[in-house]
Structure 1
Amino acid sequence: MLLDNRSPIWNIPNILTLLRIAAIPVLAVLLLSPSREAGFWAAALFAVASITDWLDGYLARRMGIVTVFGKFLDPIADKLIVMAALIMILPYGRVPAWMVLVILGREIIITGLRGIASTEGIVISASDLGKFKTIFQLVAIIALLLHYDYRWFFSIDHPWLYVNMHNVGMFYLWIATIITIWSGVDYLVKYMRVIAK
């Protein structure tokens, strides 16, 4: 797919990306409250934003309107909404601070290295590890936003039918954090090899 520098900024994929950025302050306001209801709506908003992340990329490729603006803005939108969600639930003790530091630190370092590489005309392809990291991260954040116990079947009240979404979120966040470190090291190794050449 060739990069089309002449495509207008106001196309469907870019509008979806901008809507994802616009959702960030709404998400932050919802997460000012630790209540079950606020967490539910925050999780729903985050889930919809995650779907638009996949959808805007799919539409850009399908419609042949991959733009410089879109390629720049899309990963920034992804990182901003993840950062917003993790930072906003930090005061409630729903996520360990060191995990947030590792996840956000990795994103800042890799984004910086990509920027440096691109100024030299170097493109370092993303690995599948990065995709797995994103999937586990998104699932973890949605579960952590839900946080409370939920029943699988709303009409049946039995202890075995309850699931603690915080525990589910932490399980996936551990996996996401391990892959975050792994993919970060993998990218650094690739970067050093390319720069060495």
Structure 2
Amino acid sequence: MLSLPNLLTLSRIVAVPLLVFLLWRPSPIDYLITFVLYCLVGITDYFDGYVARVQGKISRLGQFLDPIADKIMVAAVLMMLISSRKANPVPEIDGLHIIAALIILLREIIVSGLREFLAPLNVSMPVSALAKWKTTLQLVALGALILSGAFPAHEWVHVTGLACLWAAAALTLITGYDYLRAGLKHMD
């Protein structure tokens, strides 16, 4: 049950409080440490699935925990980057950019609820290739926004993060619609 892939997934969940704590303390060195930790956590997201497939250790626990770990991490980091802190001179996600973050959060809630509804009906909703691109853009966006706190003088890092956030939000709308359309076929 606690195979290497599952331990990697659990490590992502355990890392979330540390990410939140580091983002709560908005100094450039904390952002840099957070960025390194965030990258390590992101790498485990790739390797848990890879190791599970290569070693033939795909488990129900892993299938259950992996999307939860992703959603917990993305939601926590988004919330911390949205929250306003007077000590931080660099607003990571503010103004209209909050809409992109809300689109991402709302889609995750809707798709999770849809999957939960369809599970007793034995209807699976596999992750599409477009949804994987959405996740990649989300992770890059959040990483760039964290990194921009470490290097506030390099505004292009922040702009890149926001551009990726909006691209992820656009893919979020498309993939969310696809999942919802497929799920509605199974509702009375």
Q: What is the TM-score normalised by the length of structure 2? A: 0.89
Deviations 1:133-170 (A, max 9, x none): 001110000000011485xxxxxxxx9xx563111101
Report 1:4-153 matches (<5 A).
Answer: 9-92=1-84, 93-95=91-93, 96-148=97-149, 150=151
> Which deviates the most, 48-57 or 116-125?
116-125
2 CA distance for matches of 1:149 and 1:84? 19
Q: Which residue of 1 aligns with 2:178?
A: 186
Structure 2 CA distance, aligned partners of 1:149 and 1:28? 15
Segments of structure 2 that go 5 or more residues without pairing to the other structure are 85-90
Superposition deviation, residue 89 in structure 1: 1.3
Report deviation, 1:101.
1.6
Question: What does the per-residue CA deviation read over 1:83-141, in whole Å, with 9 as the maximum and x for residues that have no partner?
Answer: 11110111243113322221111001101101111111111222211011001110000
SS at match of 2:9: helix
Contact 1:117 1:123 in 2 (8 A): yes
Q: What amino acid sits opposite 1:137 in the alignment?
A: Q
* Counterpart-to-counterpart distance in 2, 1:79 and 1:102: 13
Q: State how far apart, in whole Å, the 2-side matches of 1:192 and 1:128 are.
A: 21
Q: Which runs of 5+ in 1 are unaligned?
A: 1-8, 151-158
Please say which structure displays the higher CA radius of gyration: 1
Stretches of 4+ aligned residues off by more than 6 angstroms: none
Kindly indicate whether the alpha-carbon contact (under 8 Å) linking 2:92 and 2:149 is maintained by their aligned counterparts in 1: no
Q: Which residue of 2 aligns with 1:5?
A: none
Q: Which amino acid aligns with 1:141?
A: L
Query: Quick check: 1:149–1:163 contact (8 Å CA) kept in 2?
Result: no
Cα distance in 2, alignment partners of residues 168 and 97 from structure 1: 15
1:169 to 161, 164, 184: 161
Any conservation in 2 of the 1:136–1:173 contact (CA below 8 Å)? yes
Give the alignment's Cα RMSD to 1 decimal.
2.0
Report the identity percentage.
Answer: 39
Moved more, 130-139 or 118-127: 118-127
SS in 2 for 1:30: helix
Q: 1:164 to 1:53 in 2, by over 3 A?
A: same
